[in-house]
Amino acid sequence: MHQHKVILILIDGLGWHVARHAMGYLHALCESRQASVFKLQCELPSLSRPLYECILTGSNPVVSGIRHNQIVQLSKQESIFHLARKARLKTAAAAYSWISELYNRAPYDAVRDRFTHDPSLAIQHGIFYHEDSYPDSHLLLDAEHLRTTHDPDFLFIHTMNVDDMGHRSGGDSADYRNAARKVDVLLSHYLPVWQEQGYKIIVTADHGMNVDHSHGGHLPEEREVPLFLVGQGFNHKAAGTEIKQVQIRDLCALALGLAVNRNDELKPFLS
């Protein structure tokens, strides 16, 4: 059993208004008290790269300096990958290329970086993609390959098809909602295995999507996102307790058994 291993899943662009009715399997876990769900408000601006940095370092965009998607540089903050490496834990990610640029090497070079296996990097084992239409089904296979081959203590999984469909068809479209349903079905293949093996699993989103096929502002459909905590390692009686997007890094660290600042208010979320 993996008592102190964590999988963080980021479903890019999944707004609360769709997550609350389209993610049937995740909500089934909540109803059976194997998971709990919270509504978060993302930081501003509600853009992807700034919010990747927010989720993975606990720094909002004004503090981190990653203010928009075109800033291509290594993070100057201490990410969950760096915290894990300091503790001699193993890290891995199946994720969009911007994650590699933030925490491994910038700019991203697909030939060099798509398949990364380097113990000196913050993300030691990575399979990165660079097209928004890269299938979520393939991405989850990449993640499972990393998990079974390298047995990381912290695994980050980052899907893109929900966001891609939102940009193509809008946040109030069948395509967007069905992309959410599809990734929920895909997760239903993997979550039982990971739960059985004792992983603490966190599922969240960076931002939502508006009817104009975009995001970046402070409309509720852009800012409100879900946070699902899955597995026996979490206290599912803590539902209703407030949690913020900037606390996700420290929640991951605490779940890994790492000491972090300001963690007392997060302890109720762990069993």
The total number of structural domains that make up the chain: 1
Does residue 238 sit within a domain? Answer: yes
Does residue 207 sit within a domain? Answer: yes
pLDDT at 36 over 60: yes
For residue 163, give the nearest of 182, 139, 141, 179 by alpha carbon: 179
pLDDT at 263 over 90: no
Q: Dump pLDDT digits (tens) for 4-14.
A: 899 999 999 99
pLDDT at 1 over 60: no
Does residue 210 sit within a domain? Answer: yes
Per-residue tokens: 161: 């098809």
Structural domain of 208: 6-269
CA angle (17 as vertex; 163, 267 as ends), nearest 5: 90
Q: Dump pLDDT digits (tens) for 176-234.
A: 999 999 999 999 999 999 999 999 999 999 999 999 999 999 999 999 999 999 998 99
pLDDT at 127 over 90: yes
Comparison of pLDDT for 264 and 176, the residue scoring more:
176
pLDDT at 239 over 60: no
Per-residue tokens: 212: 């104009």
Does residue 33 sit within a domain? Answer: yes
Does residue 264 sit within a domain? Answer: yes
pTM of full prediction above 0.85: yes
pLDDT band, very low/low/confident/very high, at 242 (cuts 50, 70, 90): confident
Does residue 58 sit within a domain? Answer: yes
**Mean of all residue pLDDT scores within the chain:** 95
The CATH number of the domain where 20 resides is what?
A: 3.40.720.10
Does residue 1 sit within a domain? Answer: no
Contact 233, 271 (CB under 8 A): yes
Does residue 157 sit within a domain? Answer: yes
Percentage of the chain exceeding pLDDT 90: 90
User: Cα–Cα distance between 38 and 20 in angstroms, integer?
Assistant: 10
Q: Dump pLDDT digits (tens) for 61-97.
A: 999 999 999 999 999 999 999 999 999 999 999 999 9
- Predicted confidence at residue 266, as pLDDT, reads 87
pLDDT at 155 over 70: yes
Contact 25, 182 (CB under 8 A): no
Contact 171, 210 (CB under 8 A): yes
Sheet of 35-41: strand order equals: 35-41, 224-230, 200-204, 6-11, 154-159, 91-96, 125-129, 115-117
- In the chain, what is the straight-line distance between the N-terminal and C-terminal CA atoms, in Å? 15
